[in-house]
Each structure stands twice: as C-alpha cells, then as structure tokens.
C-alpha cells in the first residue's frame, strides 16, 4: 500500500491537510484524487489545505487545485487554501490563475472562522 499523498485530519466539520513538500505532476494529481475521495466519503463542510511549508507551486499544481475546488463545490464542499507564500501568490497571478473569491485565506484560523461563519 502506498503512503498517503497528504494526511487529512478531521477538525470540526472540516478536513485539514498541510502540503509539506512540492508535488510533481503525478503526485499532485494523486493528491487531488485523494482529497476528493475523502471529501466524498466524509462529507465535510470544507477542505482546508495549508501551503505555509512550500515556497512555490507550478502551473500544473495550480490547475489541480482549481479543478479540485470545482469538483468539491459539486459535492457541496468548499476548498479553502491558506498560508500561500507571497511567491506562490505572485506566480498564480502571473500564470493567470484565478481562484474563486473566498478560496484563499490568511491562515488555518481564518479558514476555520470562515467555515464557522457559513
């Protein structure tokens, strides 16, 4: 059995995962599939992904995240990304990647507050 791409913890009515290292294309795709499967299985209100530990993301991972947000929305779960380093934000803007409003938040506490607020 293969190790989890990203461990997901249940916190309140959310799934929380921390991206601890850069993901090459295949691992990024596997992470997206894993998160979606767990969200379908557990029906959380939100999936919170913390990017504090990684310095930057590439265009493929950005696309995986955008697709994940859309897929999660279809099953009634919200994707919240937090702790995006400045370099990641700049890269996403330069690549023309636009995340839905309210998807990117400052930190895990802000994400949990958003989920509590509805």
Which CATH number characterizes residue 52's domain? 3.30.750.24
For residue range 72-96, what is the model confidence (pLDDT) as tens digits? 999 999 999 999 888 777 877 887 7
Name the one residue in this structure whose structure tokens are 């994400």.
Answer: 111
Q: Considering the domain boundaries, does residue 2 fall inside one?
A: no
| Residues forming beta bridges with residue 17, ordered by sequence position | 8, 49
Taking Cα atoms as reference points, which of 79, 3, 68 lies closest to residue 45? 79
Q: Considering the domain boundaries, does residue 110 fall inside one?
A: yes
Whether the Cβ atoms of residue 34 and residue 2 lie closer than 8 Å to each other:
no
What's the Cα-to-Cα distance from 78 to each of 48, 49, 114, 116, rounded to whole Å? 8, 11, 10, 12
Domain count, the chain: 1
pLDDT of residue 4: 64
Whether the predicted pLDDT of 2 surpasses 60: no
Give the list of residues 6+ apart from residue 98 with CB closer than 8 angstroms, or none: none
Q: Considering the domain boundaries, does residue 51 fall inside one?
A: yes
**Pick the residue with more confidence: 5 or 113?**
113
Work out the percent of the chain whose per-residue pLDDT is above 70: 97
């Amino acid at each position: 059995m293969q190790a989890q791409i990203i461990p997901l913890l249940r916190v309140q009515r959310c799934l929380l995962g921390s991206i601890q290292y850069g993901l090459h294309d295949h691992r990024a795709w596997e992470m997206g599939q894993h998160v979606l499967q767990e969200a379908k299985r557990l029906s959380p209100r939100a999936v919170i992904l913390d990017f504090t530990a990684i310095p930057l993301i590439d265009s493929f991972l950005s696309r995986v995240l955008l697709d994940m947000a859309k897929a999660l929305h279809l099953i009634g779960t919200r994707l919240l990304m937090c702790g995006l380093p400045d370099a990641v934000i700049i890269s996403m803007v330069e690549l023309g990647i636009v995340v839905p409003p309210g998807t990117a938040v400052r930190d895990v506490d802000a994400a949990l507050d958003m989920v509590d607020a509805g």
